[in-house]
Protein backbone atom coordinates (compact mmCIF):
# COMPACT_ATOMS: atom_id res chain seq x y z
CA UNK A 1 0.00 0.00 0.00
CA UNK A 2 1.32 3.46 -0.96
CA UNK A 3 1.04 6.05 1.79
CA UNK A 4 0.77 9.83 1.38
CA UNK A 5 3.32 11.54 -0.86
CA UNK A 6 6.54 12.42 0.94
CA UNK A 7 7.52 16.08 1.32
CA UNK A 8 10.26 16.94 -1.19
CA UNK A 9 12.83 17.85 1.46
CA UNK A 10 12.00 14.75 3.49
CA UNK A 11 12.37 12.50 0.46
CA UNK A 12 15.70 14.03 -0.58
CA UNK A 13 16.98 13.86 2.99
CA UNK A 14 15.97 10.22 3.39
CA UNK A 15 17.68 9.29 0.13
CA UNK A 16 20.90 10.94 1.28
CA UNK A 17 20.68 9.22 4.67
CA UNK A 18 20.02 5.88 3.00
CA UNK A 19 23.20 6.25 0.95
CA UNK A 20 25.22 7.38 3.97
CA UNK A 21 24.09 4.44 6.11
CA UNK A 22 24.64 1.95 3.27
CA UNK A 23 28.13 3.38 2.83
CA UNK A 24 28.85 3.16 6.56
CA UNK A 25 27.69 -0.46 6.57
CA UNK A 26 29.95 -1.37 3.67
CA UNK A 27 32.98 0.46 5.02
CA UNK A 28 32.72 -1.02 8.52
CA UNK A 29 32.11 -4.51 7.12
CA UNK A 30 35.07 -4.37 4.73
CA UNK A 31 37.32 -2.94 7.45
CA UNK A 32 36.15 -5.74 9.77
CA UNK A 33 37.21 -8.25 7.08
CA UNK A 34 40.66 -6.66 6.97
CA UNK A 35 40.99 -6.63 10.77
CA UNK A 36 39.88 -10.24 10.92
CA UNK A 37 42.43 -11.23 8.26
CA UNK A 38 45.08 -9.43 10.32
CA UNK A 39 44.12 -11.48 13.37
CA UNK A 40 42.34 -8.65 15.23
CA UNK A 41 39.23 -10.71 15.97
CA UNK A 42 37.87 -8.64 18.88
CA UNK A 43 38.18 -5.35 17.00
CA UNK A 44 36.67 -6.94 13.89
CA UNK A 45 33.71 -8.12 15.96
CA UNK A 46 33.05 -4.62 17.29
CA UNK A 47 33.10 -3.12 13.78
CA UNK A 48 30.79 -5.86 12.51
CA UNK A 49 28.28 -5.20 15.28
CA UNK A 50 28.25 -1.50 14.43
CA UNK A 51 28.01 -2.30 10.73
CA UNK A 52 24.83 -4.25 11.51
CA UNK A 53 23.38 -1.21 13.28
CA UNK A 54 24.16 0.90 10.20
CA UNK A 55 22.43 -1.67 8.00
CA UNK A 56 19.42 -1.51 10.30
CA UNK A 57 19.32 2.27 9.79
CA UNK A 58 19.54 1.83 6.02
CA UNK A 59 16.71 -0.76 6.16
CA UNK A 60 14.51 1.48 8.32
CA UNK A 61 15.01 4.42 5.97
CA UNK A 62 14.44 2.22 2.92
CA UNK A 63 11.14 1.00 4.39
CA UNK A 64 9.94 4.60 4.87
CA UNK A 65 10.91 5.54 1.31
CA UNK A 66 9.32 2.35 0.00
CA UNK A 67 6.05 2.88 1.87
CA UNK A 68 5.69 6.28 0.20
CA UNK A 69 7.11 5.49 -3.23
CA UNK A 70 6.88 1.80 -4.16
CA UNK A 71 8.96 -0.50 -6.34
CA UNK A 72 8.19 0.96 -9.76
CA UNK A 73 9.12 4.50 -8.84
CA UNK A 74 12.20 3.51 -6.82
CA UNK A 75 13.49 1.16 -9.52
CA UNK A 76 12.73 3.73 -12.21
CA UNK A 77 14.73 6.37 -10.37
CA UNK A 78 17.55 3.92 -9.76
CA UNK A 79 17.68 3.00 -13.46
CA UNK A 80 17.82 6.64 -14.50
CA UNK A 81 20.60 7.50 -12.06
CA UNK A 82 22.53 4.32 -12.81
CA UNK A 83 22.43 4.94 -16.56
CA UNK A 84 23.29 8.65 -16.51
CA UNK A 85 25.17 9.82 -13.43
CA UNK A 86 26.96 6.60 -12.71
CA UNK A 87 28.50 6.14 -16.14
CA UNK A 88 29.52 9.78 -16.55
CA UNK A 89 30.85 9.86 -12.99
CA UNK A 90 32.89 6.73 -13.64
CA UNK A 91 34.36 8.08 -16.84
CA UNK A 92 35.16 11.37 -15.13
CA UNK A 93 37.06 9.71 -12.26
CA UNK A 94 38.74 7.26 -14.67
CA UNK A 95 40.04 10.21 -16.70
CA UNK A 96 41.34 11.97 -13.58
CA UNK A 97 43.02 8.75 -12.43
CA UNK A 98 44.71 8.41 -15.82
CA UNK A 99 45.90 12.01 -15.69
CA UNK A 100 47.37 11.36 -12.25
CA UNK A 101 49.18 8.25 -13.42
CA UNK A 102 46.92 5.50 -12.03
CA UNK A 103 46.44 3.25 -15.05
CA UNK A 104 45.22 0.35 -12.85
CA UNK A 105 42.45 2.48 -11.36
CA UNK A 106 41.47 3.78 -14.80
CA UNK A 107 41.21 0.21 -16.12
CA UNK A 108 39.18 -0.94 -13.12
CA UNK A 109 36.73 1.98 -13.38
CA UNK A 110 36.27 1.53 -17.14
CA UNK A 111 35.39 -2.14 -16.54
CA UNK A 112 32.96 -1.18 -13.75
CA UNK A 113 31.35 1.52 -15.91
CA UNK A 114 30.52 -1.16 -18.49
CA UNK A 115 28.86 -3.21 -15.76
CA UNK A 116 26.91 -0.15 -14.60
CA UNK A 117 25.42 0.07 -18.09
CA UNK A 118 24.43 -3.61 -17.89
CA UNK A 119 22.86 -3.06 -14.47
CA UNK A 120 20.84 -0.11 -15.76
CA UNK A 121 19.70 -2.19 -18.74
CA UNK A 122 18.63 -5.09 -16.50
CA UNK A 123 16.76 -2.88 -14.02
CA UNK A 124 15.08 -1.03 -16.90
CA UNK A 125 13.73 -4.37 -18.16
CA UNK A 126 12.50 -5.36 -14.70
CA UNK A 127 10.83 -1.97 -14.18
CA UNK A 128 9.14 -2.25 -17.59
CA UNK A 129 7.84 -5.75 -16.82
CA UNK A 130 6.15 -4.61 -13.57
FE1 LIG B 1 23.62 5.26 10.95
FE1 LIG C 1 25.90 1.21 -9.75
C-alpha 15 to ligand 2 mean position (Å): 15
**pLDDT in 10s for each residue of the chain, 130 residues:** 556 788 999 999 999 999 999 999 999 999 999 999 999 999 999 999 999 999 999 999 999 999 998 999 999 999 999 988 888 889 999 999 999 999 999 999 999 999 999 999 999 999 999 8
Ligand nearest to the CA of 22: 1
C-alpha 56 to ligand 1 mean position (Å): 8
**pTM higher than 0.75, yes or no?**
yes
Supply the angle between the helices 41-69 and 8-37 in degrees, to the nearest 10.
Answer: 160
Q: Which CATH class is domain 8-129?
A: mainly alpha
Residue 81 to residue 70: CA distance in whole angstroms? 17
pLDDT at 5: 84
pLDDT at 85: 80
pLDDT at 3: 66
C-alpha 92 to ligand 1 mean position (Å): 29
- C-alpha dist (Å) from residue 30 to 17, 105, 111, 116: 20, 19, 21, 21
C-alpha 117 to ligand 1 mean position (Å): 30
Ligand nearest to the CA of 89: 2
The SS3 of residue 54 is helix
C-alpha 77 to ligand 2 mean position (Å): 12
pLDDT at 2: 56
pLDDT at 4: 76
Residue 43 to residue 35: CA distance in whole angstroms? 7
Amino acid sequence: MIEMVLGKETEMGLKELFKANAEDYMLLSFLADKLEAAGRKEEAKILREKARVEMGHARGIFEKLFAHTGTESMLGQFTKEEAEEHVSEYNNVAMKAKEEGHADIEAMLCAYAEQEKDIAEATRKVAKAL
